[in-house]
Amino acid sequence: MSFKLLTISSMYPGSLEEFYTRFSEYKKWSYNEHYNTLIEDSTEFAASYTRSFSKLGINARTVIANDSILQNKWRIQQGLRRTNTKKLLYKQIQNYQPDVLWIEDLRFLEKDDLNYIRENVKSIKLLVGYLCAPWSIDDLEKLQVFNLIITCTPGLKVQFEQAGIKSFLVYHGFDSDLLTRINSENKTYSDQIIFTGSLIQGKGYHKSRIQLIEHLLDQGIDLSLYINVETKVKITAKRIIRFFHSILSTLGINNPERYFHILQYGSVPVNKYPDSILKAIKKPKFGIEMLKLLKSAKIVLNSHGEIAGNYAGNMRLFEATGTGSCLLTDNKSNISDLFEVGKEIVVYEDREDCAGKISWLLENEEERKSIATAGKERTLRSHSILTRASKIIEILTTELRNSSQ
């Protein structure tokens, strides 16, 4: 069963900035030339899935909603006046007339926008959402508009089902087509142990990750940090919100975020980043540079955010193993469903165990290499983006058939 799929997505600002730095001739491109180059060049979620869907015979298109340069080119090509993001997205959806509208980034459209689109774009048979991040009760009405939600961890799937939302589990994966590009460039890095990702403060995010990294640095472990941290202004704002949250709670108002949504950012204490982390930060890498960074490291450290609960499933699991590095990750109840522990990856139980496993891996080079090789083979065999895209197509095909009965 064939169908037209349109995805509303976004890319990391750092990835877009890097793209426009490398392709300075973008101003001369038509919209289609620009779009095709971005999708073929990018290593991000939206681009990898778009390429994989197309390989599997799906008429797939993606809107990168936060790429103002590309969006503006589409507007000009269509002869439209300047307008806001929501109205432009509606025009693009209306123009494409998809059978399936997949909202991969939920920030751009609200409940009323989604209902309006469903009522006015008659081609849409399925409205699909993607959510693999912390969510609150305030999001529930919006999520209920979708026919189904796709998520990347079992814990979130359980949460959605408990809230009465139809959901499907599709783990992250690794785009094996990128290996040719990674291997074709000679630049390497000299880091033995790296952590790359974000350190975000607040409920459901990275408190335990921050504590882990601080502990390892305090132990004298030479951990290279290619990370994003929140600005001082943002941290201060969260702490002020926390202050007001505490006052209202003291006055007997339980869960004040139910009445003032912004207070959800103050439901837990927000601390300043430890000095040891701030001193160790290196500039984050994106795209192929980030994957080359993973490949060249002896050990890639992974730590899931609080939203994952007791389940593994973040993207770094598959990126680190897919590039051929040795993955050291926090132990979770479902980790053996994804990898063979001790043979394909190494897991740690707590901060002290993590430090001990790092020392063991560095002291046992042949075992580390063997684990890295086995992990790469497992990811390429079982956890490719093409495999994940095939599963999503099966889900969507079944749902489309059910909806037509």
**Residue 108 pLDDT class (50, 70, 90 cuts):** very high
Backbone angles phi, psi at 106, to 5 degrees: -80, 0
Mean pLDDT of 379-404: 95
**Residue 329 pLDDT class (50, 70, 90 cuts):** very high
Question: What local confidence, expressed as pLDDT, does residue 368 receive?
Answer: 96
pLDDT above 70 for 263: no
Annotated domain spans of the chain: 4-173+385-404, 176-382
pLDDT above 90 for 256: no
Closest CA to 359 of 237, 220, 225, 226: 220
Over the stretch 33-68, which tens digit does the pLDDT of each residue have? 999 999 999 999 999 999 999 999 999 999 999 999
Least confident of 78-82, 198-202, 330-334, 343-347: 198-202
Measured between alpha carbons, how far is 322 from 127 in angstroms, rounded to an integer? Answer: 31
Mean pLDDT of 282-307: 91
pLDDT above 60 for 204: no
User: What's 176-382's CATH class?
Assistant: alpha beta
Q: Which residue matches tokens 């090789």?
A: 373
Question: What local confidence, expressed as pLDDT, does residue 6 receive?
Answer: 98
326 SS3 class: strand
Mean pLDDT of 388-399: 97
User: What CATH code would you report for 4-173+385-404?
Assistant: 3.40.50
* Averaged pLDDT score across all residues of the chain: 90
- What is the gyration radius of the CA atoms in the chain, in angstroms? 22
pLDDT above 80 for 266: no
Q: What percent of the chain has pLDDT over 90?
A: 73
pLDDT above 60 for 129: yes
Question: What local confidence, expressed as pLDDT, does residue 249 receive?
Answer: 67
Over the stretch 221-233, which tens digit does the pLDDT of each residue have? 999 999 888 777 7
- What residue spans of 4-80 are helical by DSSP H? 13-22, 31-41, 45-55, 68-77
Measured between alpha carbons, how far is 151 from 131 in angstroms, rounded to an integer? Answer: 5
Question: What local confidence, expressed as pLDDT, does residue 87 receive?
Answer: 95
Question: What local confidence, expressed as pLDDT, does residue 203 receive?
Answer: 62
DSSP state of 174: B
Please check whether the two domains, 4-173+385-404 and 176-382, share a CATH topology: yes
**Residue 17 pLDDT class (50, 70, 90 cuts):** very high
pLDDT above 90 for 205: no
pLDDT above 70 for 162: yes
**Residue 206 pLDDT class (50, 70, 90 cuts):** confident
